[in-house]
Amino acid sequence: MLSHFDMEKHRAVLSVGQVCADLITLCDEYPEEDAQVRVETQYWQRGGNAGNVAEVLSHLGTQAEFFGTFPNVKKMRPAILGGAAAAKFCLSELDRAGVDYSHIARKQCEDFPSSSILLSDKTGTRTIAHYRGPLDELTISDFSVLDFKEYSWIHFEGRGNVETIASAIEMASTSTASMSPTERTKLSVELELARHDDLMHSCKSVDLVVVSRYFAKHRGFRTAIECVEGMKTFLKPRAEIVCSWGEAGAACATNIIGDKAVLIPATKPEKVADTLGAGDTFQAALIHARLHDLSLENSVKYACKVASKKISARGYNAVKGMGL
């Protein structure tokens, strides 16, 4: 387990993206269409890729801050689902996890993003119906409150506001370029969905690109190795790329001459209890390990191990204290 000294060694990691409220319904197995079934339990959980990454980072011992848009709770409708109660719950969950959110961009909005999730107890798989609602995405002006140099790492969740994300990446890259190589803020971006195509030109400005299996298949790649080798040309020199491929593991490489993609096998979980947020957990663990100077290959091995631990239990508490 990391000591207090280790936790203070690095400046905080900023996780940029979204949080939302997840209503999780645990079923014995996924119900057939038009069926009426009893469920084992229902519970609330704070969700959203960037929020998940921040929470896992905090559990692993790295200071984390969430940055995204958030409603003015006092002006929200008093509904439980998608209203003020859900928004307050998400802030309390960030507090519980020790995640800072002091720079969030407050927006006037009555509704809060929420997801209805069916979780199969038999397989651990999840089916998500997400309601984004009218909450605005981040604009480039929202980033003006940040001093990018204050962070050791900034991770950008791929979202629909790709132009803003691309501009923010460029802004962060430019403002931190004068820092010494050992102190310079590292930048990473997640390419998860087909609509993130327009973020590919931003790969030239980041230190790490994390590609999902879904995005890789959208680009025509059949394996993680094929994806990493095919996308290295989009990176700046010495930048790193990782492509996660679920139970097949993850491939990685550095954009230097002669470096070939390596496939790291997935760590088999003790049981499959909950796959929700496994990819976010993987990314958080990867960043945590790279911050602590593990090699890229060993960082991916560690990320696979942490993601496996998360899959074996519901929520994210199971990864607390997983040392490097």
Give per-residue pLDDT as tens, 288-318: 999 999 999 999 999 999 999 999 999 999 9
pLDDT digits over 69-107, tens only?
Answer: 999 988 887 776 778 889 999 999 999 999 999 999 999
Q: In order of start, what are the domains of the chain with their CATH numbers?
A: 4-17+50-72+98-108+135-319 (3.40.1190.20)
Q: Tell me what pLDDT residue 140 has.
A: 98
Reported as type and span, the H/E element at residue 43 is: strand 41-47
Which of 11-44 are b and which e, b meaning 16 or more Cβ less than 10 Å from the residue's Cβ? bbbbbbbbbbbbbbbbbeebeeeeeeeeeeeeeb
Rounded-to-integer distance, Cα 101 and Cα 87, Å: 13
pLDDT digits over 227-256, tens only?
Answer: 999 999 899 999 999 999 999 999 999 999
Side by side, the strands of the sheet bearing 250-254 are 64-67, 13-16, 153-156, 186-191, 208-211, 240-244, 250-254, 262-264
Write down the pTM of the prediction. Answer: 0.93
**Number of residues that make up the chain:** 324
Which of 61-99 are b and which e, b meaning 16 or more Cβ less than 10 Å from the residue's Cβ? bbbbbbbbbbbeeeebeeeeebbbbbbebbbebbeebeb
First to last CA, the chain: 8
Q: Tell me what pLDDT residue 38 has.
A: 87
Say which residue the tokens 């954009």 belong to: 255
The yes-or-no verdict on residue 124 having pLDDT over 80 is no
